[in-house]
């Protein structure tokens, strides 16, 4: 898939050439899960799979969208009457982005006139990200769409602003209380780099991923869906503990403070908070380990992260745990492996030396189906630049 192919698909669908074609990558998180909405640290990388959007202006106020990868499903709505229903799930993200972007432009640039110079457009969506695998296909769609609209109508947005608009679309209009990580790395990722993002103040730094390591993503094909799942429940549990300690988020709670209040918390709430607090420490250490090329330490930190997500946060599955265990045996301390994303299915991320790529493939293809009855998909990826980099 490339821009030329997407242009041709648009031409076939709408019988005219697109005016812009944009792309935003998905992401994989090396370490730091369920820390972002707790104002903590995350260490993601943008990957060389993502979402393309081809767009062309219309002469009216109508938005016409075709999702070429989803059986050519179509969506049409007017900019003046954006409403939400359950008929087309991916349509929520498209409508949410338009709603959030229009709200931003009205409040920032055009508040005096109350008008926004956005009109209707034709859109075609196509991509290379597996849906529901935990590689942030939703944020990739949001950022690619924001990039397309701003280019099409001549607006300039900084990457952080684009990420916040994408997050608002998902939080307010889709109903998933995600943090900012997915949108920000899709907007501002860098080639061959991982980003240490402080979700408290949105400051970020980059660390080079060693040249001899590849990002291997194994999709368990245990389908997940964050909206309506236990994701929002986990967030509420974290908020309960923060409130108990009179903090706005768990970022303000140290492990020492948590231990002091342990007897007054339920065992479940204590373990949820312990994961987040210790994961923040692991993520900062992992950033330093990457920068120093200390893969032995990185391997241990990723293993500890997975154990914490499994035992304290309880978001893994037996299939994911099996993949992590078998890949860990194959890679040893020359790489690292853990679950990645929101959990409840989805993917495993492994840092794998080039010399062990074939070994990893054999382990997954030979053993996983026998153990689970599912076939895993393997993606060997590189870290790539974001849409607004």
Average pLDDT over residues 142-168: 95
Give per-residue pLDDT as tens, 39-77.
999 999 999 999 999 999 999 999 999 999 888 999 999
User: What pLDDT score does 227 carry?
Assistant: 45
Contacts of 309 (CB under 8 A, 6+ apart): 33, 34, 275, 315, 316, 338, 339, 343
User: What pLDDT score does 177 carry?
Assistant: 73
Q: Which domains does the chain have, with CATH numbers?
A: 3-205 (3.30.230.10), 209-381 (3.30.70.890)
Instruction: Using DSSP bridges, classify how beta strands 41-57 and 121-127 pair: parallel, antiparallel or unpaired.
Output: antiparallel
d(CA 69, CA 141): 13
User: What pLDDT score does 367 carry?
Assistant: 94
Q: Under a CB-based contact definition with an 8 Å cutoff, are residues 347 and 216 in contact?
A: no
Give per-residue pLDDT as tens, 273-297.
999 999 999 999 999 999 999 999 9
pLDDT at 238 over 50: yes
Weakest mean pLDDT among 24-28, 91-95, 127-131, 213-217: 127-131
Please say if 182 is a catalytic residue: yes
d(CA 311, CA 207): 29
- Identify the active-site residue in 33, 69, 122, 182: 182
């Amino acid at each position: 898939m490339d821009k030329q192919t997407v242009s041709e698909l648009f031409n076939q669908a709408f019988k005219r050439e697109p005016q812009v074609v944009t792309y935003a990558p998905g992401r994989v998180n090396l370490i730091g899960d369920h820390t972002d909405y707790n104002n903590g640290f995350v260490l993601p990388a943008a990957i060389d799979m993502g979402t393309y959007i081809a767009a062309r202006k219309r002469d009216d106020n109508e938005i016409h969208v075709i999702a070429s990868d989803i059986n050519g499903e179509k969506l049409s709505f007017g900019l003046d009457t954006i409403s939400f229903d359950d008929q087309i799930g991916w349509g929520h993200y498209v409508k949410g982005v338009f709603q959030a972007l229009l709200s931003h432009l009205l409040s920032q640039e055009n508040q005096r006139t109350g008008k926004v110079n956005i009109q209707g457009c034709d859109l075609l969506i196509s991509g290379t990200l597996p849906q529901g695998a935990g590689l942030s296909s939703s944020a990739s769609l949001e950022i690619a769409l924001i990039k397309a609209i701003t280019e099409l109508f001549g607006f300039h947005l900084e990457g952080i602003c684009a990420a916040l608009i994408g997050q608002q679309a998902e939080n307010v209009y889709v109903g998933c209380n995600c943090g900012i990580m997915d949108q920000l790395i899709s907007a501002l990722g860098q080639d061959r780099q991982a980003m240490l993002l402080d979700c408290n103040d949105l400051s970020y730094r980059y660390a080079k991923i060693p040249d001899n390591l590849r990002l291997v993503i194994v999709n368990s094909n245990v389908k997940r869906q964050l909206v309506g799942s236990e994701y929002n429940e986990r967030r509420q549990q974290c908020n309960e503990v923060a409130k108990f300690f009179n903090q706005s988020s768990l970022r303000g709670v140290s492990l020492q403070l948590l231990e002091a209040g342990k007897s007054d918390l339920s065992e479940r709430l204590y373990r949820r908070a312990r994961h987040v607090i210790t994961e923040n420490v692991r993520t900062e250490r992992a950033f330093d380990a990457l920068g120093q090329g200390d893969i032995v330490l990185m391997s241990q930190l990723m293993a500890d992260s997975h154990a914490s997500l499994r035992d304290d946060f309880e978001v893994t599955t037996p299939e994911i745990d099996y993949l992590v265990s078998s890949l860990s045996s194959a890679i040893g301390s020359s790489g690292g492996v853990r679950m990645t994303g929101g959990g409840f299915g989805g993917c495993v991320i492994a840092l794998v030396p080039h010399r062990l790529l074939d070994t990893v493939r054999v382990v997954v293809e030979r053993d996983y189906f026998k153990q689970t009855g599912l076939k895993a998909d393997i993606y060997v990826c590189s870290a790539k630049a974001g849409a607004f980099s």
